[in-house]
Amino acid sequence: MRKTKIICTLGPATEKTETITKLIEKGADVFRLNMSHATHEWVRQIVPRVRRVARKVGRPVALLLDTQGPAIRTGDLKTNIQLKPGDVLEFTVRGAQGATPYSVDVNYPGFAEDVTVGDTILVDNGLIKLVVLEKGPDRVRTKVLTHAVLGSRRHINLPRIHVNLPALTEKDIADVALGTELGVDFVALSFVRERRDIEQLRRLLVKRNSKAQIVAKIEDQLAVRSIEEMIEGADVIMVARGDLGIECPFEELPIIQRRIVKKCIRFGKPVVVATQLLESMITNPMPTRAEITDVANAVFEQSDALMLTAETTLGRYPVECVEVLKRVAIRIERSGGAGYAKDALLENVRQKTVASAVMLADSIPDSKLVVFTLRGRMARYTSNLRPLRAPIFAFTPNEEVCRQLGLYWGVSPFRIDFRRNADETIASAEKFLRRNKLAASGNRMVIVSDVTMGRAMIDSIQLRVLE
């Protein structure tokens, strides 16, 4: 059974019912809605569509709404600008008129205040490199350092520059309101810079009575430097390698990824590795060998999930991309992992109880870890300890918890009704596992559950043999 989860971004290439069905059948666990491009009308159509397909296929599938965040972009151009090294490119703000042949507006009014002469500016995912020559109240003039073509609405990166943008823009707040109305399971915060950004989103979700989990996207050096605060504040961490690879020296990116994955496992938070996993498969039916190695490394590090972006929004082979991730993950998982879970912190009694259950399961061949959980906490603890062999079957009566657990490493979540009698609930789960050929007679099951004794709730570990 595959333990590394797969997140697919939905878009024009994957929005049809037939394609969504194939993606789920091939192994997609979470679908991402990218609000940098998605309209509210489209989201209102796609969310119920995914829910219907997931019910029909019989797999819990979560939805992740990804906010655009405080993105700085160039404005619209009548024609593309052909740039060569030495050219002067001017950025204007607040509707100022360009004073050079090559001039483009910027959507961020504070752009001129935040940059300094000598700063590096990167445009269009780093394809255009510039250095600031001079600036005024409403314009910034830069020297072009690379051959490139500048089109409309290109993303601007300001490495090592603190920008005074809000964590949540008006658009983000409206998008989050839509997501909570439709019951999305995760909300991703783009360009998170400090823990209070996460807390602001948390307050917004609480205000809207949403239990969606927060995914903090690590995309610049400020977030990397305060990674432990990010991990503590968020529910999930995403290594967003697109902007991160622009904001940081590219040779540092593998080290940053490994460090973040290791810290997330140590502190008990799931981690997603995202962006350009199978970039060549946007147009080609087969991945490059380098892409396979990149995916294999993320699986070996035991990241909770891998996320596809353009591969499944615009690519020609979205279903094949999921199949590639699935094949690589299953093979690499058989060869073992990095073992970061040995340093996982056990800070409370429940974590220590789960650690005992995992140790017991690791010592028994062909055992199964069966977790009964109301809010998902016990299953998350189990996942974070990365059991060596035993699959994790998590049973919960809560549909939202069931969907959210689909993102966690190694967890196969199922929704069943809990009975008042614990033995009846366990028997129901055993019957489910046997009926779906997930366990067979003679298998040993290490059961982690809450047991009610009078008015007290007691965490328990049981070892049972499936009859």
**Digit-coded pLDDT (tens) for 115-130:** 999 999 999 888 999 9
Instruction: Give the percent of the chain with pLDDT over 90.
Output: 83
- Judged against a pLDDT cut of 90, whether residue 422 lies above it is answered with no
Give one word for 95, left, alpha or beta, with left for phi > 0 and alpha for psi -120 to 50: left
pLDDT of 452 reads: 56
Closest by CA position to 13, among listed 31, 36, 40, 25: 31
Among 200, 228, 231, 196, CA closest to 216:
231
What is the Cα–Cα distance from 187 to 214, expressed in whole angstroms?
Answer: 5
Fold identical between 72-157 and 346-465? no
Report d(CA 29, CA 257) in Å as an integer: 22
Q: What is the mean pLDDT of the chain?
A: 94
Each domain of the chain, given as residue ranges in start order, spans 5-70+167-333, 72-157, 346-465
pLDDT given at position 1: 85
Q: What is the pLDDT of residues 340-353, one digit of tens each?
A: 999 999 999 999 99
Query: 334, 32 in Cβ contact below 8 A?
Result: no
Average pLDDT over residues 267-281: 97
pLDDT digits (tens, 9 = 90+) for 167-190: 999 999 999 999 999 999 999 999
- What three-state secondary structure class fits 74? strand
Q: What is the dihedral of CA 222, 235, 309, 4, to 10 degrees?
A: 120
Q: Distance between CA atoms of 102 and 142, rounded to whole angstroms? A: 10
Phi, psi of 429 (to 5 degrees): -65, -40
Topology adopted by domain 346-465: Pyruvate Kinase; Chain: A, domain 1 (3.40.1380)
What is the pLDDT at residue 305?
A: 98
Specify the pLDDT at position 229: 97
Fold designation for 72-157: M1 Pyruvate Kinase; Domain 3 (2.40.33)
Cite the active site residues.
Answer: 32, 73, 217, 275
Class of domain 5-70+167-333: alpha beta
Residue whose tokens read 């005074």: 164
Q: Which residues contact 390 (CB under 8 A, 6 or more apart)?
A: 358, 361, 362, 364, 367, 368, 369, 446
